[in-house]
Amino acid sequence: MVEEPQSTQAVLARVCACVQAGKSDANTDIPPGSLGQPGVAEWVEMAIERGASPQTILEEALTAGMNAIGKRFAANEVFIPEVLIAARSMHVGLAKLKPLFVEQGMPSRGVLVIGTVLGDLHDIGKNLVGMLFEGAGWKVIDLGVDCPAEKFLAAVAENPGCAVGLSALLTTTMVSMGETVKSIRAQAPQAIILVGGAPVTEAYAREIGASGYAPDPAAAIELLDSLLSDE
């Protein structure tokens, strides 16, 4: 028997907590022992019934939950599996909100085009960055792995004003990261280009003309916010 929260604010807090725990709905047993208890799906439905706007549910519950997970991941308090199941729960909540946003479209803070550079097949880190940006309210266009500069250029042309994220995990493919930054700069000199991946450093980002480097998704979100507020 689950006690019903008294206020809408308390329902939103339950959504936020369930995102962080990866508790998608009553039918899932994540975390173990929670089978039958309401999750993101049920609490989002209740928040809607109580009159919370989809925008509020998105910002104060789903995004807040993913932001918290991003910070805990950066602090090594949770690890890749927890981030993945939190992102899955957030998507369950988003699916409930989508019909309510049909007319105006899902709100978005902006577009992030992200991909792993040419010659590089590593995508776990890039995917985590994409998920947490999505959780923070960004529309994320994921170009996948082994992306030649032309692929980034086409996406930048199709999404004027987008930010770009480049990922590289090999010292050998850091070279194609530099070439990709150069090509993007030639086409869109003002573009914000973030770079990351285990071998990438702040100094290397500066050397190749990227706008900034971040070691993890939470830092990347903060960096992009600060670069945008400087514009």
- Rule CB under 6 A: say whether 142 interacts with ligand B12: no
Which listed residue (143, 194, 208, 221) binds ligand B12 by CB under 6 A?
194
- Rule CB under 6 A: say whether 171 interacts with ligand B12: yes
- Rule CB under 6 A: say whether 226 interacts with ligand B12: no
Show the CA angle centred on residue 225, arms to residues 223 and 111, nearest 5°. Answer: 105
Span from 18-26, 100-108, 183-191, 193-201 in contact with ligand B12 (CB under 6 A): 193-201
- Rule CB under 6 A: say whether 199 interacts with ligand B12: yes
> Six-digit token pair at 3?
């006690």
Buried b (16+ CB within 10 A) or exposed e, 24-59: bbeebebeeebeebbbbbbbbebbbeeebebeebbb
Span from 20-28, 95-103, 125-133, 149-157 in contact with ligand B12 (CB under 6 A): 125-133
- Rule CB under 6 A: say whether 220 interacts with ligand B12: yes
The DSSP code for 134 is H
Comparing CA positions, the residue from 57, 51, 53 lying closest to residue 14 is 57
Q: Which residue has the tokens 């692929």?
A: 151
Contact partners, residue 87, CB within 8 Å, separation at least 6: 66, 131, 132, 134, 135
131/154 Cα distance (integer angstroms): 22
Q: Which of 44, 174 has the CB closer to ligand B12?
A: 174
Which listed residue (10, 35, 95, 124) binds ligand B12 by CB under 6 A?
124
- Rule CB under 6 A: say whether 169 interacts with ligand B12: yes
The H or E element that residue 115 is part of is: strand 111-116
Q: Which of 53, 172 has the CB closer to ligand B12?
A: 172
Span from 11-19, 40-48, 94-102, 118-126 in contact with ligand B12 (CB under 6 A): 118-126
Span from 26-34, 63-71, 94-102, 189-197 in contact with ligand B12 (CB under 6 A): 189-197
Question: Footprint of ligand B12 on this chain (CB under 6 A)?
Answer: 80, 119-126, 128-129, 165-167, 169-172, 194-199, 214, 216-217, 220
